[in-house]
Every structure is written in structure tokens, then in C-alpha cells.
Amino acid sequence: MFAEVVLSKVSSEIDKIYHYAIPENLRGKIQVGHQVIVPFGRRQDVGYVVGFVKEAEVTRVKEIIKITSPCPLFGKEQVEFAKWLAYYYFSFFATALKLMLPPGQKPKELSSPQSRLKSPLSPPGIEGKEVKVAETNLRLTPEQQKALEAIKGVIDQGRSEKFLLCGVTGSGKTEVYLQAIAYLLTKGKNALVLVPEIALTPQLIQRFQERFPGLIAVLHSHMTLKQRNQAWLMIYQGETRVVLGTRSALFAPIKNLGLIVVDEEYEVSYKSEKSPRYHTREAALKWAEINKAVLILGSATPAVETYYLAESGFYRKLVLPQRIDQRPLPPVEIVDMRKEKDFLLSRRLREELKEVLAKGEQAILFVNRRGFFTLVICRRCGLVLECPKCSLSLTYLPGKGLVCFGCGYSVPSLVCPRCQGTELKYFGVGTQRIEKEVAEMFPSARILRWDRDAVSKSSSHEAFFSAFAQGKANVLIGTQMVIKGLDVAKVTLVGVVSADFALHLPDFRAAEHTFQLLTQAAGRAGRHHLPGKVIIQSFYPEHYALQAAAHHDYESFYQKEISYRKELNYPPFSKLICLLISGSDQDQVKKVAQELANFLKRREVQGLLGPVPAVIARRRGQWRYRILLKGKDLEEIRPALAETLAKIVVPKEIKVLVDVDPVNLL
């Protein structure tokens, strides 16, 4: 018997499984998941046991030196998961495997005697942590009941099933999750609930904690390393039964996993920006399959790809077409800004705002950009002021000068770098400009601006959320974070100051993103006893994404969108892999990109586009070129790409990044 070991170090030369002999004293002790010290070349290295084989690949096999973790850090399932992640997303196996390890733990710390890691006393289950589910007197709607019964039925049968829960905003998807989990726990299984970063509000955490007192572990990236490590240990030791977290919680060491929920599955933040560049939805699908668990994807605005798969029967569709308690969806009015004199706030939006303030209710104004002016041009020579390190225009922030949101570069002087002219012209609408406008128009309004500039100054998102929820402000102005997940009873007006921005992005998902944003924004209004209203300002009111959002009509949006996708052969009708080649020397980047493309072409890869400069052609001083590969399925592209990456020697100073199923083509 030999142990299969993966080295902790990551590089393309050692990205494989090595075989080691097991010394006498470790036989019967060593398990998959153990961290070990092994001889490698003339050195010793840290590695992880990922399996066992009867025959070794080489004749002269070295012996494992010692085990350095007090117990296995992962199981066979995690090994299978990491293998899939590495294969699917073109990452190193060790990189994928490290996602499963305790957060922030450096290999050598594990061997210290103070380590808190101990073997779990007993597997979690009915005999483990006692289940105390708080009683709820909430009456489900017939549709909620139907959805819940379908999920319970599958849990009873103990089989794996994939659901898409399509529910309009305010239709009570979370309640379905909660009751499904409560049922699951009585069967001795554990649950994982994934939500987008922005939606993991104190409100949501509290709701879960109240329902499952003492059984919840929360995991997200804003926790300190120590907090995350503690949560990891509690989960590992079976002290909690339900994990609620953002995308990295997917790798929590949950045993006996019976249900995975991915809420708002379309969210762009579900895609990892680091290798392996996994999409939480796709990875959760695989993880559910490995664990034979039930998967529930939930959304009011499913990704077009997801809905397509539901239509074709891959996902079982459950529908919540109405808000709870027969509350109506808010009426949406689109204001044609071409007919307005004031392009910041239309007459209709001002009227409604005035009324809301008079009635003592609350309003949310969504602005897509932060800052004050988002574009600055020199009057003398016509130069658009750009960041010297990025191909991004600079934003004007009062008190700070000109700022690049791509890299943080800022310059206090308002001078043209080309002609030294001091007469600049300012354009564009950011959150701070709307804040000033509303303050001037309604001097008595209590305004709260919630965007990244405001958050970095004060404590946290929680502070903003609770200030607004407690009514300390009556107008909330902000970027995306104000339209996702907020559920405040007195919000009766949502104003979308500019709805068009996303439509003009050079991305085939532009219409989808716009529709999702508008629907989510509209979803914040009138969620409780007070009826709500939504005003969308647009220069392009006839666009189908706006029209469908105004009518709360996902189906009509989908029908239009899917026909475009088919016509242009974009996902779900094709699969994409994006290669991003970057470096500080533009000519060199271009040359490497061209070499890669030529090599791929010789492998007869169909649907190769590029290389072309990326939309953001330069970022933090790095030039960026893009190659897009499009295929009927990934298997059509994969072999040629793998061969190309293995054979083309890329200079050290050039980075080649592989993004499978990219969500962002900028």
C-alpha cells in the first residue's frame, strides 16, 4: 500500500500526485486528509495525503517522514471535489485542495501542540448536537407549501435532486429554505446556505439564528482569520448543523451534508476572482452531486443559463409567483429622460420623493456610480482625464480631487496633465452628486449615502443597514449595495436614477444584468403593509430589459433574451473560456497573446476570437489582451487549450489567466 501525496507548494512542475511508502509506525494510522512531511528531491516538504494505491508508479519509492496534523483535515469527498475544481477551472490541484483547509493556517502551525484541532468526538447527527428548532407561526402561501412539500419529498427519499426556486421579490423564498432545513435536521443531516456577500445582512443572520438557536455557523470574507478559523473548527467538530455564508463557505468541512441552498444564484460575486476561478453555482452543483445532497437555487431573476436548464428539465422548477400575504408587487413607472430638463432627478421622481418625506416614509435612490462627477475633460485640449496606470477615466471626489476606482490612484490638483490647463469640464452622475442635489431640494431630508467611499470611512455595512432600518435616515442613496437584500418596512419608494449604464457595456449579458438590477431594485419597495412605488429614469425606455422589469415579467424578458443568445451563439448555446494575458510591456503581452492564439488555431479550435486588447486595456500598469474561446461544450475546447498551456513557454513577467465560464468580459 502506498500513499498518494500532493505537495503543499504550487507550481506547474510539481502539479501532480506523488507516491510514497508508508513506514511501519504509521500503518493503520495514516488517513486521507492527513498533513505529512515527505522527502522531495534533497529537501523535505509539506504534503497532504489524498488517497492510497496498491502499486506505486516508480520503483524506488521514498517513505513518508511523519504526520503533522493531529487528524485528517479533509475527506475523500473533498479530494474528489478539488480534483474536479482543478480540472474544470484549469487550476493546480494543490490550489484547489487548499480551499478545503482551515482558513489561514500555515502548514507548520498545525504541528504545534497548542493546536486546537482534535478528532471530532462523534459524527454530527441526531445523536450529535441536539436539534432545537424554534417554532414558527408563519402561514405559508399555497405555492410556498407546494415548493416545500416537493423538497421534503426528495429529502424523505434520500435522493439527490436539483431545484430552481423562482420566486418574485418578497415571495418568501427564505421561509421555504428555513422550513426545508428544519425538516432536514430532523433527519440527521446538515445544511449549507450560500448568499451573495452583499445579501449576508445582520437581519438574515439573525433570522437564521432565531430559527436554529445555537446551530448556526456563519462564514464570510469580512470575518477575521481567527473568527473564520474558529467557525471552521466548530463546523469540523460537528458543533453546528447549518452553515450560512458567502461563496467560500462552500468549502466548509460539513459532514453529512444533505442540502445546499444557493440564493440569488445569478450574482456576479459568486464567481471567484482567484484560481480556481469557480462559479459558486456550478461548484455547488458538483458538491451536491458528490454528497448526494439536495440543491436549491433560488432567485427572482435566474441567470438565463440557469432558467434554460430548468426549462429543459435539468433543474426541477418550483415557482412562487406572488408576494406573501397577497401584497402586490410595486407599480413601476419608467420616466423618459429625453423629455426632462433636469437630467439628475425627473419631475416625477421629485414629486414622489416629496410625498414620501411628507408621509414620514422612506426612499431608496440607486445610482450606479460612486463619486461626484464620473468624467472630467480638459476644456482647452479636449483630453479625457485618465488614470496614468489604468485605461479608466478619473472620478472627481470633493475633498480628494481626481480618483481612479480601478487602482486607488488619486491626485489633488485639478490640472490637465497634457496642456497644464486648469479649466476642466465635469460630467457624469455619481452618488455624491445626487446626495447634494437631494439635500438642496429637500433641506429637511435625512440623507444617508451608502457606497464604498462612505463605508471605508466608517465602520461597516452593518452600521449603515441598521441606521436606515431604524429610521435614522429617510433617504438612502447608494450603489448596488442598497438594492440587494434590504428589507425595510417603511421603504415605499425606490428611484433608479440611471438605468441605462449596464446596457452599454460591451458584454453579452448587459441586458440580463440590467433586468436583474432593476428587478432587485423594484423588489425593495412596499415589502410590508405599506404599498410601494418604483420610478426608473432612462434615456432608452423602450428597451426590452426595462419594459420587462417594469412589468415584473421575467418570462417575457427570458423569451426575448434567449432568442438573441441563440442567434449569436452565446451561452447557454455555447460555452466560453476567456484567456487574459497581461504584463507591463505592451509589445511582449501582444506577442505572447498572438503566439497562444496561433498555437490554438493550429489545434483547429473553432470559435477563437482575438487576441484583442481587453475592454479595460490597461490596469494598474499592466497591459491586458484577451482571447475568447467559444465551443459547443467545454470538452470541445479543453484538450487543445490544455496542450497549448503545457507547451507554450510564457516568460515569467507575463501572466496568463484562464477563466472558464467567465461572467465578466471587461
**610: closest CA among 621, 620, 296, 624?**
624
Nearer to Zn ion among residue 179 and residue 582 (C-beta): 582
Rounded CA-CA distance 256/259 in Å is: 9
The three three-digit cell numbers of residue 59, written as one number: 520503483
Stretch that binds Zn ion, among 1-9, 77-85, 404-412, 483-491 (CB under 5 A): 404-412
In this structure, what DSSP letter does residue 482 have?
Answer: G
Q: How far is the CB of 415 from Zn ion (least distance, A)?
A: 9
Per CB under 5 A, the list member of 82, 216, 387, 481 interacting with Zn ion is 387
Long-range interactions of 93-96: CB distance < 8 A, separation 24+: 93/6, 93/15, 93/16, 93/17, 94/6, 94/7, 94/8, 94/9, 94/10, 94/15, 95/10, 95/275, 95/276, 96/276
Amino acid (1-letter code) at residue 410: S
CB-based contact 246:194 (threshold 8 Å): yes
Instruction: Classify residue 569 as exposed, middle or buried by CB count within 10 Å of its CB (0-12, 13-18, 19+).
Output: exposed
- The reply on whether position 385 binds Zn ion by CB under 5 A is no
Q: How far is the CB of 359 from Zn ion (least distance, A)?
A: 44
Q: How far is the CB of 404 from Zn ion (least distance, A)?
A: 3
Nearer to Zn ion among residue 71 and residue 415 (C-beta): 415
- The reply on whether position 497 binds Zn ion by CB under 5 A is no
Task: For 125-270, list the strands marked E by DSSP.
Answer: 162-167, 190-194, 216-219, 242-245, 257-263
Q: How far is the CB of 419 from Zn ion (least distance, A)?
A: 3
Per CB under 5 A, the list member of 327, 389, 436, 528 interacting with Zn ion is 389
Q: What does the per-residue mask of binding to Zn ion show for 405-444, with x meaning CB under 5 A?
A: -xx-x------x-xx-x-----------------------
Q: How far is the CB of 585 from Zn ion (least distance, A)?
A: 18
Q: How far is the CB of 401 from Zn ion (least distance, A)?
A: 14
How many beta carbons lie within 10 A of that of residue 570, not counting itself?
A: 18
Helix (H) or strand (E) holding 362: strand 362-366
Nearer to Zn ion among residue 159 and residue 380 (C-beta): 380
Rounded CA-CA distance 596/650 in Å is: 9
Query: Footprint of Zn ion on residues 350-379 (CB under 5 A)?
Result: 378
Q: SS3 of 567, please? A: helix
Stretch that binds Zn ion, among 110-118, 196-204, 321-329, 384-392 (CB under 5 A): 384-392
Nearer to Zn ion among residue 213 and residue 408 (C-beta): 408
Amino acid (1-letter code) at residue 638: R
Strand order in the sheet with 66-67: 18-21, 2-7, 43-53, 35-40, 66-67
Q: How far is the CB of 248 from Zn ion (least distance, A)?
A: 27
Nearer to Zn ion among residue 204 and residue 375 (C-beta): 375
The number of residues that bind Zn ion (CB under 5 A) is 15
Nearer to Zn ion among residue 138 and residue 381 (C-beta): 381
Nearer to Zn ion among residue 609 and residue 616 (C-beta): 616
Q: How far is the CB of 378 from Zn ion (least distance, A)?
A: 3
Nearer to Zn ion among residue 345 and residue 397 (C-beta): 397
Helix (H) or strand (E) holding 209: helix 202-211
Q: Tell me the DSSP string of 59-121.
A: SSPPBP-EE-SSS-SS-HHHHHHHHHHHHHTT--HHHHHHTTSPTT--GGGGGSTT------S
Q: What number of helices (H) and strands (E) belong to the chain?
A: 17, 27
Q: How far is the CB of 402 from Zn ion (least distance, A)?
A: 11
Nearer to Zn ion among residue 145 and residue 422 (C-beta): 422
Query: Footprint of Zn ion on residues 311-340 (CB under 5 A)?
Result: none
Q: How far is the CB of 407 from Zn ion (least distance, A)?
A: 3
Nearer to Zn ion among residue 202 and residue 613 (C-beta): 613
Rounded CA-CA distance 606/581 in Å is: 20
Rounded CA-CA distance 115/359 in Å is: 58
User: Alpha helices, DSSP H only, in 112-201?
Assistant: 142-157, 173-186
- The reply on whether position 390 binds Zn ion by CB under 5 A is yes
Nearer to Zn ion among residue 116 and residue 418 (C-beta): 418
**593: closest CA among 569, 622, 568?**
622
Q: How far is the CB of 593 from Zn ion (least distance, A)?
A: 22
Nearer to Zn ion among residue 203 and residue 410 (C-beta): 410
Q: How far is the CB of 433 from Zn ion (least distance, A)?
A: 21
Q: Can you give the binding site for Zn ion, defined by CB under 5 A?
A: 378, 380-381, 383, 387, 389-390, 404, 406-407, 409, 416, 418-419, 421
